[in-house]
């Protein structure tokens, strides 16, 4: 019998910004071995007016409407696509040319970083919808201090909008790494957003490669 955990999920995530979250499962975590009770086995996705969840341990799943406190919901605002000289200088020191910086649509903005405890100038790496070419999320990296903050919910590869399916694709674990490969002549380099391949995106990319490899013999490298 399924548990009704919708009220608890709504209370925890109803006012969260759109995005994907992990949490312990109200339906099963308290019944597990003590060593496993803190495992965040529940996946939660908040999008528009809906909150949906799936527990990867007990299978509990469902959906509910988020709280009606719309004023408290942070909506993603597309950034101003400009980059300050200090950010360009930082990226050049990392070996990137202005041409490659521009190809990656890299921008800059001052953002609050936890490690610094204040706003710092950051490089912003935009995640782009390959169909609409619109920016739907930005991952920021501090210039003076290595810390990250993300606005929006990146759910695809960085640079996926520039991929040519007929050519080999190289997948790395960082936006600057992907741009560095472009600088070295590897134009089909893309990066995962959170340091590990996304199953859905990997499956989608694999299907794309299978469809094109029948005629071109392409390869995908990680």
In the chain, what are the domain boundaries? Answer: 6-72, 85-221
Residue 179: pLDDT over 90: yes
Residue 192: pLDDT over 70: yes
CA 213 – CA 222 distance, rounded (Å): 17
What pLDDT was estimated at residue 203?
55
Residue 92: CA atoms inside 13 Å, Cβ hemisphere, count? 10
Q: What is the pLDDT of residues 52-104, one digit of tens each?
A: 999 999 988 988 887 555 455 567 888 999 999 999 999 999 999 999 999 99
Which residues have C-beta within 8 Å of that of residue 39, sequence separation ≥ 6? 24, 29, 32, 57
Of the candidates 79, 137, 135, 133, the residue with the CA atom closest to the CA atom of residue 109: 79
CA 61 – CA 66 distance, rounded (Å): 16
Least confident stretch, 49-53, 85-89, 214-218 = 214-218
Class of domain 6-72: mainly beta
Residue 108: pLDDT over 90: yes
Least confident stretch, 11-20, 69-78, 131-140 = 69-78
CA 183 – CA 172 distance, rounded (Å): 14
Q: What is the pTM of this model?
A: 0.59
The vertex-128 CA angle with 124 and 134, nearest 5°, equals: 105
Question: Could you tell me whether strands 135-142 and 148-152 are parallel, antiparallel, or unpaired per DSSP bridges?
Answer: antiparallel
Residue 197: pLDDT over 60: no
CA 109 – CA 125 distance, rounded (Å): 11
């Amino acid at each position: 019998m399924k548990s009704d955990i919708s009220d608890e999920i709504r209370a925890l995530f109803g006012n969260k910004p759109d995005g994907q979250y992990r949490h312990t499962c109200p339906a099963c975590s308290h019944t597990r071995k003590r060593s496993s009770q803190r495992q965040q086995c529940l996946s939660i996705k908040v999008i528009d007016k809906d909150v949906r969840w799936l527990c990867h341990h007990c299978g509990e799943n469902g959906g509910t409407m988020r709280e009606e406190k719309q004023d408290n919901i942070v909506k993603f605002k597309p950034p101003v696509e400009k980059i300050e000289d200090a950010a360009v200088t930082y990226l050049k020191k990392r070996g990137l040319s202005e041409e490659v910086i521009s190809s990656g649509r890299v921008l800059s903005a001052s953002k609050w970083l936890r490690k610094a405890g204040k706003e710092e100038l950051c490089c912003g790496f935009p995640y782009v919808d390959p169909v609409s070419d619109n920016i739907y999320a930005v991952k920021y990296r501090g210039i003076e201090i290595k810390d990250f903050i993300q606005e929006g919910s990146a759910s695809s590869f960085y640079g996926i909008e520039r991929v040519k399916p007929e050519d080999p694709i190289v997948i790395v674990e960082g936006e600057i790494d992907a741009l560095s490969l472009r600088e070295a002549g590897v134009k089909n380099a893309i990066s995962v957003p959170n340091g590990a391949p996304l199953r859905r995106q990997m499956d989608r990319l694999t299907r794309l490669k299978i469809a094109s490899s029948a005629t071109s013999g392409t390869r995908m490298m990680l």
